[in-house]
Amino acid sequence: MARGLTTRLRIFVKQWLLPPALWSGLARINRSRDLRTRPNSRQEKALLRENLQIKNLHKGKRCFVLGAGSSVNQQDIRKLKGEFVISVSNTFVHPDFAYIRSRYHVLPPLLRSHGQLHSEEKFVKWLKVMETSTGNAEMLLHIGDRDMVERNGLFRNRKVHWVEYTDSWDENFNAPLNMQYVLPIWSVSELAITLAVYLGFDEIYLVGFDHDWFKGTHVYFYDHTKEHAMRPDQNNLDFVDSEFQMRRHAKIFRKYKYLYSKRQNIFNANANPDHYLDVFPKVDYESLF
C-alpha cells in the first residue's frame, strides 16, 4: 500500500508540478542518493527515537515561530527576548536575531529536496554561517543530511534533533503527530509548527508567516540577493508559476488545518494585511507583551 501511494505521488508531481527536464535531473539525484538518505541503520533509527524525549517538553509555556516573511520588518522582534522562539532557515540574518536567542532552529531536507538546485559545497558554506549565527539553538535537521553535516564537522557542540519523513499523507486528520517520521512537507513552516505542537506549548504564535507568494518567489524581510547564500539561479525556477504556487499552498494550508485540529492553540501574529493565512485566528502582535 505504501509503495502504491508513493508511486501515485511521484506521478502527480511529475505530471503537475515539475517540468520534464527538472524531473529527470531530480530522479537521477534521488537514485544516486537513495541509500544515503534513508535511515536504514540501527544507529539512525535510534537517533530518530530520541525525539520521543521532547514530547510535551514545554507544556504550560508559549512560543513564537519566526518565519522570514517581509512583515517581520514591521515588527519589533526584540520583544521576543526571553520567549521560547523557534526560528527557520535563513532568519538568522535578522540584525536582532542574536538578541532574541532562539531555542530551536529548523531546516527542511536539504539534499533530498533541494539537491537539484545547489551543490553540497554551497550547503556547507551556508550551514557554517548558520552555525555561527544561531548561538546555542537546538537544530532540527533531516536524517538524510546527517552524513554531510557530520563529515564537515558541523554542529558538533550542539543538540541536533534528526527527523525523517513519511512517503505520503492521505490528508487524514487522525494521523498521529510524530517527530520521528514527520508527514511530508512543502514548506519548512509546516515542520516548525509540527515541532511546536509536539513540544506541547500551550500557545503558539506565528510571526513572519506571510504566504504572499503572489508578490514574487523571493519576498523576505531581507534582501535575498545579498543576505542568502542559498539563493537559487532564477533559471532553475521557471516552473514556479501561479499554478505551481496555488497547488503548493493548497497542500500547505491543508497541513496547517491538520496541525490546528490537534489542539487549536496556534495563532497568526504576523503584521501583513495582504495574506491568505486565514487558517489560524489572527491576533495583534503588540498585545502579546
Same domain, 23 and 139: no
On whether residue 181 sits in a domain, the answer given is yes
**Which among 53-62, 119-128, 204-213 has the top mean pLDDT?**
53-62
Q: How far is CA 283 from the centre of its chain?
A: 23
Q: How far apart are CA 261 and CA 263, in angstroms?
A: 6
pTM of the model: 0.84
CATH of residue 121's domain is 3.90.1480
Total number of domains constituting the chain: 2
Same domain, 134 and 260: yes
211 CB-near residues (< 8 Å, 6+ apart): 69, 249, 252, 275, 276, 277
Least confident of 30-44, 146-160, 176-190, 198-212: 30-44
pLDDT digits (tens, 9 = 90+) for 199-218: 999 999 999 999 877 666 66
On whether residue 200 sits in a domain, the answer given is yes
Same domain, 246 and 280: yes
What is the pLDDT at residue 246?
85
Same domain, 130 and 247: yes
Residue 259 has pLDDT above 50, yes or no: yes
What is the pLDDT at residue 217?
63
Same domain, 20 and 131: no
What is the pLDDT at residue 61?
98
User: Which among 183, 227, 232 is positioned nearest to 93, based on CA atoms?
Assistant: 227
What is the pLDDT at residue 16?
44
Q: How far apart are CA 263 and CA 189, in angstroms?
A: 17
Same domain, 102 and 174: yes
Same domain, 155 and 252: yes
Which range marks the domain in which residue 6 is found?
1-31
